[in-house]
Structure 1
Amino acid sequence: MALRISGRAITSDMTPETAHLVPGSDGGRWVLSWLPGRDLTREQAIDGMALDEILSDLSATDEEFVLELAALRAESLGMRLEEAVVRLAARILERDRRQRRAEGQDRSPGGPAERPCPRPANPSGSHCSSGIR
């Protein structure tokens, strides 16, 4: 799990989401691919990318600590962890739909997803593979 941070972009070796700098006279603003329409600081963009990686890493063993860390990252973006999970899950589903369309395999909305959802906000919840639970 590693973020690549430059002066203009933040990418991940774990997820396809990105953050990029939109230049401006005041130094610019950062935008997350999974949180469009929000102007962020560089620190918030890093937190948003780190949050995506945290929720995408299903190998973490201390789930309570991971969820606490994720909640802090979400808070820095002005949102609750549950909202971040829903937004990231929606991005996964949209990417899957676009990929299926491109491959000519579009399934009905009730069909199973091919990727697991991000870690649930409820520590006792189970990881899902066919939508948000």
Structure 2
Amino acid sequence: MALQVVGRSLMTSDQTEHQARSVGGGGWVVSFLPGRTLTLEQATAAIQAAEAVAVVGALADQVGLTTLETVGLAIQESPWAQPMREMCGRRPWRRGWL
């Protein structure tokens, strides 16, 4: 992921076609957030989020899902009751157990 700032007025990435543009006074607009003016830090985070979505999209393709399906399923709570480390022989310590 390579985020580039061109001439202090344009932010681009090699991972996504989304861009951020300076609108003066420290404000930035991002192509997928119309109507919002952000700080430089917020615009950078927005472009980085777009890059992350591109990465998730590539991984989703490998699983045979869309990007939205992958994110939607991944943010759900795991249906497995116990974390894997507890299932692998480690018993959680509880007060009163010796």
TM-score of the pair, normalised by structure 2: 0.58
Change (3 A) 1:122 1:37: same
In the TM superposition, what are the counterparts of 1:1-133 in structure 2 within 5 Å? 1-6=1-6, 7-23=8-24, 27-58=25-56, 116-117=66-67, 120-123=71-74
Distance 1:5 1:17 in 2: 13
Contact kept, 8 Å, 2:26 with 2:40, in 1: the verdict is: no
Query: How far apart are 1:121 and its partner, in Å?
Result: 4.4
Q: CA RMSD in A?
A: 2.2
Q: Which has the higher contact order (CA 8 A, sep 6+)?
A: 1
User: Which runs of 5 or more residues in structure 2 are unaligned?
Assistant: 60-65, 77-98
Change (3 A) 1:124 1:5: same
Distance 2:5 2:72 in 1: 27
Determine helix, strand or coil for the equivalent of 1:39.
coil
Distance 1:5 1:121 in 2: 32
List structure 1 segments (4+ residues) > 4 angstroms apart after TM superposition: none
Query: How far apart are 1:42 and its partner, in Å?
Result: 0.5
Change (3 A) 1:37 1:121: same
Distance 1:40 1:17 in 2: 15
Distance 1:124 1:41 in 2: 28
User: Which runs of 5 or more residues in structure 1 are unaligned?
Assistant: 61-115, 126-133
TM-score of the pair, normalised by structure 1: 0.44
Distance 1:8 1:47 in 2: 16
